[in-house]
A and B are shown apart, each in its own frame.
Chain A
Amino acid sequence: MSPILQLTDVSKKYRTATTALTVLDAVSLAIAEGTTVAIVGPSGSGKTTLLGLCAGLDQATSGTITLNGILLNEQNEDQLAGIRNAHVGFIFQNFQLLPTLTALENVMVPMELNGNRQARAHAMELLDKVGLAERMHHYPSQLSGGEQQRVSLARAFSNRPKILFADEPTGNLDNETSKKVVKLLFDLNTEAGTTLVLVTHDLELAAKTQQIIRIKGGRINHDGA
């Protein structure tokens, strides 16, 4: 299977007023289309930075990143935004729903950005699928944590992305709710045939994926199934 995501010698350095901090150091990896991958590692190891770079949220200091055949390094910020909208879905630890939009509108946004005229109907369908048909007109502040994450899942799949990035998707949820959300995430992923990249501390969750990437001190430690 051809890789949907390929990183070659990717480094990321942040400059502060006095020092330069290397967060990722010559990272290379490849993720095959349709697979599920977990990136695990201790706090501060560079997991989230790696996720941000893979998703086209940031530019690498050096090295190349190819997503779905597109070299991200050559894209400007507006082009990256278009790529994110067309190919990428996100799930965040703290849900990151737009607080001023209802659940339905939150799910509609990526599709509306894409000019999808069926956005409303498709969003309602997705919310129904995640069990929130009755709550679609509620604002995020009126939903529980589990409900917010389910809205986030519906939003992530709304544009039928090629690849889905999830940053600690259960980090803010209790055990019971976590299990439900994880099941939903994997079910939806299987159904859509999307590539799933998870960043997590939770080794139990990581074990559900086909591939685990371990990262420590900005370097990939082990790459294997």
Chain B
Amino acid sequence: MNGASWLLKMAWRDSRRNRSRLFLFMASIVLGIAALTAIYSLGFNLNNQIDEQAASLLGADMEWVGNKPFEASERALADSVAAATSEEMSFGSMVYFPATGGSRLVQIRALKGDFPYYGTLETLPAAASADFRTGKKALVDQNLLLQYRAGVGDSIKVGEVTFEIAGSLIDAPGQTGIVAAVAPVVYIPLSYLEATGLEQKGSRINYRLLLRMPDPSGVDTFIKNHKERLETAEVTIRTVEDQKDSTGRLFRNLTVFLGLAGFVALLLGCVGVASAVHIYVKEKVNTIAILRCLGVRAKEAFLIFLIQIICIGFTGSLIGALAGSFLQRFLPVLLADFLPFALDPVISVPAIAQGILLGVIISVLFSLISFISIRNISPLHVFRISFEDSPVDKDPLRWLIYSLICVFILVFAFWQLQDWSTAFAFSAGIMGAFLLLVGVARGITWLIRRFFPVHWGYLARQGLANLFRPNNQTVILVVAIGLGTMLICTLLLSRDMLLNQIQVSTSEDRPNMVLFDVQEEQLQALSQLITDRNLPLLQSVPIVNTRLEKMNSLDAAAVRKDSTRRRLQGMFRREYRVTYRDTLSTTEKITKGSWVGQFTNGLVPVSVEAGFADRNRIDLGDTLQFNVQGSLVMASVASLREVDWRGMQTNFVIVFPKGILEEAPQFHVLLTRMPTLDQSADFQQEVVTHYPNVSIVDLSLVFNIVDKITDKVGFVIRFLAGFSMLTGLIVLITSVLISKYQRIRESILLRTLGAVRKQILFITGWEYFFLGAIASLTGIGLAVTASWGLARFSFETDFQPDLLPVTFVFAAITAITVVIGLINSSGILSQSPLEILRQES
């Protein structure tokens, strides 16, 4: 065996005349590695930032959270251990901007104390974060101010009190842009909360005590000593560590998702590498045979080319990793709305190393599919092709390589997801998608061949025939372009479906406005207000707050003490908002037992939502003891219901029959339908003015929120799908350039036989039109199938895809394919046949 230095020398020498082509192989993986390195860097930066900023994410050393006012003993405990405490009560409520007459549902945070102790309430002007605590002043979310054309010094009415806007709230500890968009925050001093009149029965208020400890390291000891007592009092403690864990987990999930999406782009690039290497090896057969004649062993010939691909993989990965490190500077901008802090991107060496290692391994693995055939190239090729060349498909090593690729994908997925079953599902999904695309591509090729349109004109016929001729790139391009198209179209169609569903679910006679927190004494007047305006009062639903005390023999107190029963603890800890009625609503269906609408005597026959019952192992006949604001009610599960939670209507986990809760403290939800946006705004203004505690959600608000969320999430997904698409385009360019070498002879012959430039351009144009059209149609077809599946089984709605954007995607991708094909092929046409023949020889 010759030394490594000679092999390296030969690999180097052989690469000299092929560098531009080897660069093409490399280009296919650059984007995938760039995406992954950027995402890994983001992950590293996020972890570092979370570590550094954990305290300012919480704003305090410890946070106590409850859904009822803190007892005096709890306050005393807090005062005894903390160096300083702040108190916050938060809830959803309408606010009204008197200057412009606008109103909107927001999150009110009534604050007392100097919170935050770490980090800041970032406001404009900066002094407003302290100033608003000193009088009847409010801090208002910056976007809300913009939306309602209000500014510092203007007024905002919260409940019965009109506050002066002290400042625009830019950021608060732990707040993300997306949360601020969905539920914009208004801070007011806690001392004015009572005057607003919003602290009423039924109001869903969150209570927080925020503690700054004299020594932050004392938090653990405090938790050890007092956790049980506070949990018994239904107070949840959150620490900086908890915040770090939950934020870390959230962003780990985000980076895992992004990482897997980037990996798809890399795999796509590797398919391009595999295809390019396949052609490269074919062209190298003669060189390898000559080397074999001169005494080079099969293994050495294999190693010469393996060294080349390792170097190419390394260079491509290095370029990708460096590009990714540059690109990661923009990811925080892309994700700004999801991040609770400003992320300062720094270059991460581990991320670069991971990217390079991944790139080298995967490019080598995919290249090996073709490279293993080098071992079998006979020196007899110098004379002619051997009769007995064994097909590469039958090489058992090839299957080993395929298996290694599958194992690598699985291990990578596991490394990201840390869960074998999800990793299996991801790997199976990605391999299934690839196989499906390959199958479709082969099927289409077969169909074209089988039903070849012999009557077409020569140019179109020749272009079409190129799809199935030797060295065609049909499968690789259909996979590469098809996958990218599929991702983008599925995203488009699903988003439309989601938004359409919101519109459809509130169409015709369905409600498009919900009024929450209507108190008993307001019910009559508000109902009258609706009917006076000739609006339909579609539903008036009473709601009673209850807690579960016992289920069969299990009682809440015992379960709370048992730390092994986390699931049951949740069931006993939560507050249940129940209703009572004598009929099922249109969104409900009994799946087990029978509906009882009227209570007579004995145990109260309640109906439980089937999913909730399943999760908590509740069945027919189980006894449930409810605490209805002090009164104990014994109930038995009479039926299980399936509930359609979609659309604007009230739905409940537990429904009581009539005849038991009528006298319990309760509030109401009213549902109506507004014919126009103007009427809606006018009505909301009147309700906010006269019934400030009543919260209103209207369709336009929901629509805007869903639109905003899907837009922001969609932007991130589109960004990653864009990587796949760009990789697909690079694979396309690579494939076109590589197949150009294959096509040179044919073009020369055609030109020698008298074909003019235009005719050859037409043949090429037709070929790439068919390729682009088939690839994008395949991607669109799969996207439509996937979206239909989502519509049918997930959204449970009719599937009516909007064909306009899909048609645009089809036209754009086909046009890009044709343009790239023509540009790359034009080089052949600008040279004389003799010149090319000389080059070829």
Contacts and interface: CB of A to CB of B under 8 A. Distances in A.
Interface of A: 14-16, 21, 48, 51-52, 55, 57-58, 77-78, 81-86, 90, 92, 96-101, 105, 109-110, 112-115, 139, 141, 155, 167
Contact of B294 (A15, A48, A85, A99): A85
Given A58-B378, A78-B297, A100 B17 contact: yes
Interface in B746-775: none
Contacts of A99: 17, 287
Nearest to B16: A100
A51 B382 CA distance: 12
Nearest to A16: B387
A45 to B, nearest CB: 14
Contact of A141 (B292, B299, B838): B838
Contact of A96 (B3, B290, B380, B838): B290
A75 to B, nearest CB: 12
Given A14-B388, A78-B299, A58 B380 contact: yes
B447 to A, nearest CB: 26
Interface of B: 2-3, 6, 9-10, 13-18, 286-287, 290-299, 378-380, 382-384, 386-388, 838-839, 841
B384 A113 contact: no
Nearest to B384: A48
Given A57-B379, A98-B290, A81 B387 contact: no
Given A96-B286, A113-B6, A141-B839, A81 B297 contact: yes
B295 A81 contact: yes
A6 B454 CA distance: 57
Nearest to B840: A141
Main secondary structure of the interface of B (DSSP, over half): helix
A109 B291 contact: yes
A78 B383 contact: no
B295 A113 contact: yes
A51 B294 CA distance: 15
B385 to A, nearest CB: 11
Nearest to B5: A112
28 contacts: A14-B387, A16-B387, A21-B387, A52-B379, A55-B293, A57-B292, A57-B380, A78-B297, A78-B299, A81-B292, A81-B298, A82-B297, A84-B293, A85-B294, A86-B295, A96-B382, A98-B14, A99-B287, A100-B18, A100-B287, A110-B295, A112-B2, A113-B6, A113-B294, A113-B296, A114-B295, A155-B294, A167-B383
A96 B293 contact: yes
A115 B2 contact: yes
B13 A110 contact: no
Nearest to B294: A110
| 6 closest Cβ pairs, A-B complex | A85-B295, A14-B387, A100-B17, A57-B379, A78-B297, A84-B295
Contacts of B841: 141
Contacts of B6: 112-113
A220 to B, nearest CB: 20
Contacts of A155: 294
A82 B18 CA distance: 28
Nearest to A168: B383
Most buried by A among B9, B291, B294: B294
Given A96-B286, A100-B16, A82 B295 contact: yes
A177 to B, nearest CB: 16
Contacts of B293: 55, 57, 84, 90, 96
A101 B294 CA distance: 14
A14 B378 CA distance: 14
Contacts of A21: 387
A52 B9 CA distance: 29
A110 B293 CA distance: 10
A57 B9 CA distance: 25
A154 B409 CA distance: 50
Nearest to A51: B383
Contacts of B384: 48
B298 A78 contact: yes
Given A78-B297, A81-B297, A105-B13, A48 B383 contact: yes
Contacts of A83: 295
Contacts of B15: 100
Contacts of B9: 112
A52 B298 CA distance: 17
Contact of B291 (A48, A58, A98, A139): A98
Contacts of B287: 98-100
A85 B386 CA distance: 22
Contacts of A105: 13
Contacts of A112: 2, 6, 9
Nearest to A84: B295
A15 B388 contact: yes
Contacts of A113: 2, 6, 294-296
Nearest to A79: B297
B295 A100 contact: no
Contacts of B17: 99-100, 139
Nearest to A21: B387
Nearest to B17: A100
Most buried by B among A99, A101, A114: A99
A99 B841 CA distance: 9
Contacts of A78: 297-299
A115 B3 CA distance: 9
A109 B838 contact: no
Nearest to A93: B383
Contacts of B838: 141
A81 B382 contact: no
Given A57-B379, A84-B379, 12 more contacts: A52-B379, A58-B378, A77-B297, A81-B292, A92-B382, A96-B286, A96-B293, A97-B290, A98-B14, A112-B6, A113-B294, A167-B383
A96 B297 CA distance: 18
B775 to A, nearest CB: 33
A52 B3 CA distance: 28
Contacts of B386: 58
A48 B292 CA distance: 17
Nearest to A100: B17
B417 to A, nearest CB: 44
